[in-house]
Amino acid sequence: MNRLAFTLADVAALDRFFAAARPNEAGAFFLVTEASTPNGLRLVARDPYFPPDTAWTETDRHRLVPSGQLISQVVSRAVAANAGLLIVHSHPDSRHPTGFSWVDDQALDALSRTLVDLIDGPFVAAVVGPKGWVARRYQGDAWESIERIAAAGRGIRILDPLPDPQAMDADLDDRQILALGDLNARLRSLDVAVVGVGGLGSPLAETLVRLGVRGLTIIDPDRLDTQSNLRRVFGAKSSQLAGHPYKVDVVAEHCDGIGLPTKIIAIPGDVRREDAFPHALDADVVFTATDSQSSRAVINAASYAFHLPVIDCGCRISRREPSGLAGLLSEVRFIAPGLPCLFCRRTLSPDAIRAEILPADERRALHKEGYVVGSDAPEPSAGALTVLGAGMMASSLLAYLSSESETLHGGYLLDALMEDIPRAASAERCTDGCLSMRGVGRGFQAPLGLLPR
């Protein structure tokens, strides 16, 4: 499946540009970066260019013809950026087709044959019709469709046409449709990935399957190997411990056993590695349910580089000796271009990442000398809190898919021990020069912190 990803800010600017041109058609250009994924391509659009009226040879309600000078200008821009090119135009009339018209086909065929030898990246065309976006990519001497078009920012906006709600399974979705309305159809069309399927990720995986996502990819290199896994990992059975199965296989089998149509892919690998990481790019939303700072740093960078919405969660139990509890904290953070990254929120620490990556003997030696904070000892955890965190993450997916998402904060904190619900103290935006922001829309050209295969 091919995907085309935008930032919400760029799509909002395009919406305004198209609205100003009504009732005539209008067109704009984006630079495009392409990444191969196990199931297709992820195309990332950035740096839009909105040409003035004078740049077009013809513009009216049914036609839009770019001048040779405009084409030359946008091709030069793409070549200079070592990027591909996306042309997107509007079909403003409600009687227009949602997809490409016969006239579009003729014009784009001619344009693609010229452009394919001039630009280094892909040539992509999109049309914004009355019911949503349709897009395709020129490959060889033919067009291939782009099935998912989405934008990420303070929310997730799926731009391709809404699936027919009638096609949903009415009996299965009955109460959920009552609760979510059209949002349910969106949810049923989503592919999501969960990084880490321990105490937090395994109940999250089950919840997402029960919510009805179309596809679920779970990524985790760890095996089920300690008794304590039985307290936290959904699907884990004591009879499995001796065989040391991968956690992803245990959780996938458990979720498959529910008997719902979600397609589950289990990746027993480290998301920081070049072979496992691209699986995350096949998702519309990624959930980070790992306590590894280093893994979260990779997904944090990918969120900006690939316009990939990420829902991150951290749970922490604070004790008051000998038997009291000082806090049962669960914090959810939404990451996407336009929202502060995990470094600027101080969730990720460059020092902690360095310490985590050190070889174990070196880390222990430096810990003994007092130069490394933390140790290899397991973090305190209790299933009741991680299940709460999983519920908060799944609920956040609904919140950020909804039309109210623009009014939401970039995350929230819940202390199950307190009556009030404090909001997470968080930066409003990334600091100047932030690495995540500098990588926006750059795909694999951005520093992602990946380990070679």
Partner 1 sequence: MIADFQYPMSAMDMFFMEESVHHARVPIPEHAKTIEEHLGRRWRRWSWHRNGRWTPGVDGIGSHWAMIEARWDKERSQ
Q: Which of 265, 357, 413, 416 binds partner 1 (CB under 8 A)?
A: 357
89 or 272: CB nearest partner 1: 272
Kind of pairing between the strands at 215-219 and 155-158? unpaired
The region of 33-41, 111-119, 344-352, 377-385 touching partner 1 under the rule CB under 8 A is 344-352
214 or 429: CB nearest partner 1: 429
316 class by beta-carbon count within 10 Å (0-12 exposed, 13-18 middle, 19+ buried) = middle
Q: Which of 181, 350, 380, 422 binds partner 1 (CB under 8 A)?
A: 350
The one-letter amino acid at 334: F
Q: How far is the CB of 297 from partner 1 (least distance, A)?
A: 5
The region of 119-127, 181-189, 283-291, 346-354 touching partner 1 under the rule CB under 8 A is 346-354
Q: Rounded to whole angstroms, how far apart are CA atoms 416 and 390?
A: 14
What are the two backbone dihedrals, phi and then psi, of residue 138, each rounded to the nearest 5 degrees? -80, 125
Q: How many residues bind partner 1 (CB under 8 A)?
A: 25
Q: Rounded to whole angstroms, how far apart are CA atoms 124 and 88?
A: 8
Q: How far is the CB of 128 from partner 1 (least distance, A)?
A: 34
**Residue 438 interacts with partner 1 (CB under 8 A)?**
yes
Restricting to residues 84-103, name those near partner 1 by CB under 8 A.
none
**Residue 335 interacts with partner 1 (CB under 8 A)?**
no
Q: How far is the CB of 256 from partner 1 (least distance, A)?
A: 34
The region of 54-62, 84-92, 401-409, 433-441 touching partner 1 under the rule CB under 8 A is 433-441
**Residue 118 interacts with partner 1 (CB under 8 A)?**
no
Can you state the angle between helices 383-401 and 201-211, rounded to 10 degrees?
A: 40
Residues 6+ positions from 399 with CB-CB distance below 8 Å? 405, 408
Task: Give the per-residue contact string, 269-308, with partner 1 (x = CB under 8 A; - = no).
Answer: -------------------------x--xx--x-------
Residue 174: both structure tokens together: 């009955």
242 class by beta-carbon count within 10 Å (0-12 exposed, 13-18 middle, 19+ buried) = exposed
**Residue 427 interacts with partner 1 (CB under 8 A)?**
no
Q: How far is the CB of 430 from partner 1 (least distance, A)?
A: 9
The region of 93-101, 166-174, 309-317, 347-355 touching partner 1 under the rule CB under 8 A is 347-355
**Burial code of 268-288, b = ≥16 C-beta within 10 A, e = fewer?**
bbbbbeeebbbbbbbbbbbbb
208 or 342: CB nearest partner 1: 342
Q: Which of 52, 361, 433, 453 binds partner 1 (CB under 8 A)?
A: 433
Cα angle value 65/69/71 (rounded, 5°): 65
Give one DSSP letter per residue of 393-443, joined into a string.
HHHHHHHHHSTTGGGS-SEEEEETTSSS-PPPP--SSPPTT-HHHHTTT-G
**Residue 368 interacts with partner 1 (CB under 8 A)?**
no
The region of 86-94, 107-115, 243-251, 434-442 touching partner 1 under the rule CB under 8 A is 434-442
Q: Which of 371, 379, 417, 418 binds partner 1 (CB under 8 A)?
A: 371
- The answer to whether 301 and 350 are in contact (CB under 8 A) is no
Q: Rounded to whole angstroms, how far apart are CA atoms 411 and 400?
A: 10
Q: Rounded to whole angstroms, how far apart are CA atoms 26 and 34?
A: 25
Q: How far is the CB of 383 from partner 1 (least distance, A)?
A: 31
The region of 163-171, 179-187, 278-286, 350-358 touching partner 1 under the rule CB under 8 A is 350-358
Kind of pairing between the strands at 285-288 and 310-320? parallel
The region of 44-52, 130-138, 343-351, 398-406 touching partner 1 under the rule CB under 8 A is 343-351
**Residue 45 interacts with partner 1 (CB under 8 A)?**
no
Q: How far is the CB of 30 from partner 1 (least distance, A)?
A: 24
What are the two backbone dihedrals, phi and then psi, of residue 329, each rounded to the nearest 5 degrees? -100, 135
**Residue 451 interacts with partner 1 (CB under 8 A)?**
yes
Q: Which of 174, 351, 379, 404 binds partner 1 (CB under 8 A)?
A: 351
Q: Give residue 102's Cα distance to chain centre.
A: 34
DSSP run (H or E) holding 173: helix 170-180
First and final CA of the chain: distance in angstroms? 24
Q: How far is the CB of 236 from partner 1 (least distance, A)?
A: 30
Of 139, 77, 150, 146, residue with least CA distance to 112: 139
**Residue 195 interacts with partner 1 (CB under 8 A)?**
no
Q: How far is the CB of 344 from partner 1 (least distance, A)?
A: 9
The region of 280-288, 316-324, 415-423, 435-443 touching partner 1 under the rule CB under 8 A is 435-443
Can you give the binding site for partner 1, defined by CB under 8 A?
294, 297-298, 301, 343, 348-351, 353-354, 357-358, 371, 431, 433-438, 447, 449-451
